[in-house]
Structure 1
Amino acid sequence: MSTLDHIGVQVADFDASVAFYERALAPLGIALVMRIPEEAGVKGAGFGAGKPDFWISEGGRTTPHLHVAFAARRRADVDAFYAAAMAAGGIDNGAPGIRAHYHPNYYGAFVLDPDGHNIEACCHAAE
């Protein structure tokens, strides 16, 4: 069992970030699971595959920026993530490909989200 339950990232433009992550994470089977009601006093949205484990909340740009890597089952899912993230306004930070300096089967792609966070999808399987 993983010890990580969830992670939260502050964003400057909440609505733009929700739209970005909805599109970018869909190829990985990750969807918008819930929003925190506005009467709770914070704008927040949780993404996941059934359970929200990646959260964004309005609060402004953070420095330093964060790196978050999402697991993909297949290399094709990494490719689809990259294409979707770029179409959603992401900035290229490393096209899909082998990153042999991590290990021979490490296949990843990197994009910067609207706040400059380095968002990755990676696959460890040999395909």
Structure 2
Amino acid sequence: MLDHIGVPVSNYARSKAFYERVLAPLGGGLAMEVTQEVTGSRSHAGFGKDGKPSFWISADPIAPLSAIHVAFVAPTREAVDRFYAAALAAGGTDNGPPGLREHYHDNYYAAFVLDLDGHNVEAVCHLPE
């Protein structure tokens, strides 16, 4: 059900180094990094195994550190679209409409909403159309 989870960090470089060290004994490591230049806002580091990031940190020194990011696996792109519509109908706030996010990979199709408490909730499909 869960694809990945992300947490904001107050000091990106320090936290990135911390997680590189503490996840190594568990067989994990830095699997992907998306820089501020690519996103236009913040840097993100994804840690995981076998090249699949499942735990992300995001540079966000002013966000409440209680805000989290959760991504749910969607079986199809249509399911991502339905998730997005249902979330908005249920009172969620748009945080990125359904679409490709090719800076992650060519088939990364996702939608983002803020839930009623401001948490960033995502549905993602990794499959080609």
Could you say what the CA RMSD is over the residues aligned between the two structures, in angstroms? 1.8
Following TM superposition, the consecutive aligned residue runs of length 4 or more in structure 1 with deviations greater than 3 angstroms are none
**SS of corresponding position for 2:112:** strand
Cα offset, 1:102, TM superposition: 0.2
User: Any residues of structure 2 matched to 1:74-89 within 5 Å, and which?
Assistant: 74-89=76-91
Give the partner amino acid of 2:108: Y
**Partner residue, 1:122:** 124
Cα offset, 1:126, TM superposition: 0.1
User: Any residues of structure 2 matched to 1:24-63 within 5 Å, and which?
Assistant: 63=65
* Aligned equivalents of 2:84, 2:77: Cα separation in 1: 11
What is the number of equivalent residue pairs in this alignment?
68
Give the partner amino acid of 2:126: H
Structure 2: runs of 5+ lacking an equivalent:
6-63
> What's the TM-score, normalizing by structure 2?
0.50
Q: 1:70 aligns with which of 69, 72, 80?
A: 72
* Aligned equivalents of 1:64, 1:126: Cα separation in 2: 34
**SS of corresponding position for 1:104:** coil
Deviation readout 1:33-92 (Å, 9 max, x if unpaired): xxxxxxxxxxxxxxxxxxxxxxxxxxxxx7430000000010000000000000000000
**SS of corresponding position for 1:82:** helix
**Partner residue, 2:114:** 112
Give percent identity, aligned residues only. Answer: 66
Structure 1: runs of 5+ lacking an equivalent:
8-61
Give the partner amino acid of 1:126: P
**SS of corresponding position for 1:80:** helix
> What's the TM-score, normalizing by structure 1?
0.51
Deviation readout 1:1-47 (Å, 9 max, x if unpaired): xxx8xx9xxxxxxxxxxxxxxxxxxxxxxxxxxxxxxxxxxxxxxxx
**SS of corresponding position for 1:70:** strand
**Partner residue, 1:92:** 94
**SS of corresponding position for 1:119:** strand
